[in-house]
Structure 1
Amino acid sequence: MRDRHEEVLRRVMEAEAAKVEVSPDALTTIRARTVRRARWLPFGAIAFTAATATAATLVVVALAARPTPHDAAPDPGAVTAPATTQPPATSAPPTSAPAVPPPSKSSPSSGTSTESLAIYYVADDGGKPRLYREFHRLPADGSPAGKVRAAVTGMLAQESAEDPDYTSAWPAGTDVSDASVAGGVVTVHLSAAPPDDLAGQQLVWTVAAAVGGDPQVRVLVGGREVASLRKKPALDTLGALWLIEPQQGATVAKTFEVHAAGAVFEATAQLTVRQGRTVVTEKTITLSAGAPARGEARITLTLAPGTYVLELYAHSAEDGSVQHLDDHTVTVR
């Protein structure tokens, strides 16, 4: 009877293992462990141990195969550029090349080592100045401090934003002479102190995007600390809606993805595509979370070649008026 039970158990184990894609030696390893332990355990313990090993194998494989949630809330301080942006047609790589962010007004000449870095700008959001983000290719040595210097230099450059609606809270002539990163503290040497709280937040969000996380940002002018900054809550600082992709001025294929993010009532936003005065299409977008949380959504559009304006906005819950507008002009090739 005992031999019969062992034979049945062996067949069950082999049948279960055949359903799972694991490494070639996994089943052998399980059997070997079971045989070694069989010398010391009664038959009931052997059956329990083998079943547990098989179940554990199934769980591990299932966890490894589980996809990353696509609708996770976006990180507004992300340190890497979106993956779908295409460069202008004049410098477009072959179709097999990876997509890259469009070159910015502050881009260096060709041949210089560059990093794709997030820069935060200021724009009006229903009468309130809020922060919006663009990715720019800037010269940097790849170190955290080098990325900070490059990003802050780009932020301080006058009229460096690709989107004409974006501006800077910093006065002309302000520059950065040095930056250092030590643990969770970033020290930035500037020629002038932040003129107001909004300028300070523009700086700290740009710095945080360069190094990741929520660092303390020390601002030094003439070797003296004039400010110690932290990011304020996104709900109070960032634009209610961001049209993340495509970026302003991007050139895209006729079928492309629109990536939106924000914090709006009932997680509902609108996307209108215009060509001149003609409305080409209108879409209702449901973000993955509603205010006060910040959610995101991705939709695919197919358009004929030409130049279009993509308008992302929400309707006011009070009177239905347009609010939180963020628009980008793009070219479909």
Structure 2
Amino acid sequence: MSRDEDVLRRILEAEAARVEVSPDALRSIRARTERRPRWFSLGAVALTAATATAAVVGAFALIPRESAPPDPRTASTPSWSSTFSGTSTANLAIYYVGDDQGRQRLYREFHHLPMRDTSTVTKIGTAVTEMLRPESAHDPQYASAWPTGVRVTDVSISGGTVTVNLSKAPPSTIARQELVWTVAAVVGGDPTVKLLVDGSQYATLRKAPALDTLAALWLINPQHGETVARDVSLHVAGAVFEATAHLKVRQGDVVIDERVLTLSIGAPARGEAKLTLTLAPGEYTLEAYTISAADGSVQHLDDHVVTVR
């Protein structure tokens, strides 16, 4: 007998035990039915059947059921927590500030980070927390524009708006953009970021144009400090004149390789270039840069030190 059948049997037995039957009940019932018209007898049978059916249906209604999955249209968004007990991880894009020809611009790194779960809210909270953490950038030439001690106290999502509650206000415009671009890297597109400071509305933010905000050129892969195989996969991105960039590979002061890179598209759009180099084991400095058409000087340099095993 299944669990549901056993529950139903016990419910019906309990109901039956509550009925008190008179000793002359059968004689009284026969006397009443003989005095009433035939249609009533049939109606009584129908009523009795309906009552029994209702009792069974009611009994089934009392049987515990598994909870239905929440409707994503009405389900509440899980709240952010900096603590986690699971083993989830994600490779999250984090934006930092660096110097590009004397101007503060955003550079992107990817950080493999532990999380309590893989929800979008948790990814946003984790990415922003990493962005705020002092000296969290792999490349020492990058840094957070935010002051030390800023905490993420809450994150929520409603439609296309992401609300981030921080313990302190952003100190500059580039700090605001660092936050917005880091959040947008998680959710995609150009979301509206509603910034709260200690629970109070502070500002509503959107991404500024990439040409005015992002570094003109950067090395996406390999990242600074990474250990890689001998076949090194390089990935460069940027918005540069005539889609032309340069790559130099140095070992100490010795130039191992030097070549021109043609990105997929030129400025003002951001293009990309990918290639594979085979290097002997050792430590190398990879430099991506452009050359000024006016004076031949190196511009928009982004360099990473990597180890080939």
Aligned to 2:160: 184
Deviations 1:69-115 (A, max 9, x none): xxxxxxxxxxxxxxxxxxxxxxxxxxxxxxxxxxxxxxx99983211
From 195, 210, 227, the equivalent of 2:203 is 227
1:147–1:211 contact (8 Å) kept in structure 2: no
Whichever residue aligns with residue 234 of structure 1, its letter is A
Q: Is 1:121 the equivalent of 2:93?
A: no
From 119, 122, 127, the equivalent of 1:146 is 122
Whole-angstrom distance in 2 between the partners of 1:137 and 1:301: 24
Secondary structure of the equivalent of 2:242?
A: helix
Whole-angstrom distance in 2 between the partners of 1:138 and 1:165: 21
Secondary structure of the equivalent of 2:94?
A: strand
From 137, 143, 155, the equivalent of 2:112 is 137
Q: Which has the larger radius of gyration?
A: 2
The size of the alignment, in residue pairs, is 226
Query: What is the correspondence of 1:34-49 to structure 2 with a 5 Å cutoff?
Result: none
Whichever residue aligns with residue 191 of structure 2, its letter is P
Q: How far apart are residue 225 of structure 1 and its match? A: 0.8
1:254–1:302 contact (8 Å) kept in structure 2: yes
Whole-angstrom distance in 2 between the partners of 1:214 and 1:279: 41
- Length-normalised TM-score, structure 1: 0.66
Structure 1 residues 217 and 109, CA gap change in structure 2 (3 angstroms): closer
Query: What is the correspondence of 1:44-63 to structure 2 with a 5 Å cutoff?
Result: none
Q: How far apart are residue 196 of structure 1 and its match? A: 1.1
1:266–1:290 contact (8 Å) kept in structure 2: yes
Q: Mind listing any 5+ residue stretches in structure 1 that lack a counterpart?
A: 1-107
Deviations 1:136-181 (A, max 9, x none): 1222221111111000000000000000100111001111011011
Aligned to 1:89: none
Worse overlay, 120-129 or 290-299: 290-299
1:115–1:138 contact (8 Å) kept in structure 2: yes
Indicate the RMSD between aligned Cα atoms, in angstroms: 1.6
Runs of 4+ in 1 over 3 A off after TM superposition: 108-112
1:246–1:330 contact (8 Å) kept in structure 2: yes
Whole-angstrom distance in 1 between the partners of 2:136 and 2:296: 34
Aligned to 1:193: 169
Q: Mind listing any 5+ residue stretches in structure 2 that lack a counterpart?
A: 1-82
- Length-normalised TM-score, structure 2: 0.71
Q: How far apart are residue 202 of structure 1 and its match? A: 0.1
From 133, 140, 144, the equivalent of 1:168 is 144
Whole-angstrom distance in 2 between the partners of 1:160 and 1:331: 20
Structure scoring higher RCO (CA < 8 A, sep ≥ 6) equals 1
Aligned to 1:277: 253
Whole-angstrom distance in 2 between the partners of 1:183 and 1:138: 26
